[in-house]
Chains A and B, each alone.
Chain A
Amino acid sequence: AQSVTQLDSQVPVFEEAPVELRCNYSSSVSVYLFWYVQYPNQGLQLLLKYLSGSTLVKGINGFEAEFNKSQTSFHLRKPSVHISDTAEYFCAVSGSSGGYQKVTFGTGTKLQVIP
């Protein structure tokens, strides 16, 4: 079984300040990790993904995440946030289930950027 824990349900941060959204996962098999963003009344958009290779992954809109296998974490960071980054962010893990890919999502973190 696989699961994802997003420790913070809401994160307020001032504009142009750095932010880190935390994600921890558990899985009994090798995993692939993702961050998605959801703007109000919209579907999910892929920010970045870790499949293999370098543990530091760069995504769209200036976001990056670091895969830490020993701590089973995949925290999302941005050095300077903008008002337009206000949205809900979901961490997800994909692992083999019966030979097929299955993606499990966390409960989400609402990022509120304060002017």
Chain B
Amino acid sequence: DAGVTQSPTHLIKTRGQQVTLRCSPKSGHDTVSWYQQALGQGPQFIFQYYEEEERQRGNFPDRFSGHQFPNYSSELNVNALLLGDSALYLCASSRDSSYGYTFGSGTRLTVV
């Protein structure tokens, strides 16, 4: 049973560019949450998707957007990249009615 799969594992982008990160949730999970983890910090909540809709959002600008597909997989898009967007981006999946997440290994984004 595959866990949460994220791609790519590492990514280097130039300031001002756009990036798309992908996540496939654990089998049986229908909710996907995205977190940003800057170096030396705890994960910060970006947003959560359920039934292809964004239903919660953290304190992140509109440059951060997402999507959930009918198969529950999800994408995180970041436009107009800033150096401060460099971080580990974590995807977590869960069943809607349960508590506790399963995390992927993350995508390490470096903005230069």
A positions within 8 Å CB-CB of B: 4, 32, 34, 36, 41-46, 49, 51, 90, 94, 97-98, 100-108
Q: Is the pair B90, A44 in contact by a Cβ cutoff of 8 Å?
A: yes
Tell me, in angstroms, the Cα distance from A98 to B33 when the chains sit together: 16
What are the residues of chain B within 8 A of A45 when measuring CB–CB? 103
Tell me, in angstroms, the Cα distance from A34 to B90 when the chains sit together: 17
Q: Is the pair B56, A102 in contact by a Cβ cutoff of 8 Å?
A: yes
Tell me, in angstroms, the Cα distance from A94 to B104 when the chains sit together: 19
Tell me, in angstroms, the Cα distance from A51 to B92 when the chains sit together: 19
Q: Is the pair A49, B99 in contact by a Cβ cutoff of 8 Å?
A: yes
Q: Is the pair B48, A51 in contact by a Cβ cutoff of 8 Å?
A: no
Q: Does B28 contact A (CB under 8 A)?
A: no
Tell me, in angstroms, the Cα distance from A98 to B57 when the chains sit together: 11
Q: Does B71 contact A (CB under 8 A)?
A: no
What are the residues of chain B within 8 A of A36 when measuring CB–CB? 103
CB distance from B107 to the nearest CB of A (A): 10
The tally of residues in B whose CB lies under 8 Å from a CB in A reads 25
Tell me, in angstroms, the Cα distance from A51 to B106 when the chains sit together: 26
Q: Is the pair A90, B99 in contact by a Cβ cutoff of 8 Å?
A: no
CB distance from A18 to the nearest CB of B (A): 25
CB distance from B88 to the nearest CB of A (A): 8
What are the residues of chain A within 8 A of B102 when measuring CB–CB? 46
What are the residues of chain A within 8 A of B45 when measuring CB–CB? 102-104
Q: Is the pair B56, A97 in contact by a Cβ cutoff of 8 Å?
A: yes
Tell me, in angstroms, the Cα distance from A107 to B40 when the chains sit together: 8
Q: Is the pair A105, B43 in contact by a Cβ cutoff of 8 Å?
A: yes
Q: Is the pair A101, B99 in contact by a Cβ cutoff of 8 Å?
A: yes
What are the residues of chain A within 8 A of B105 when measuring CB–CB? 41-43
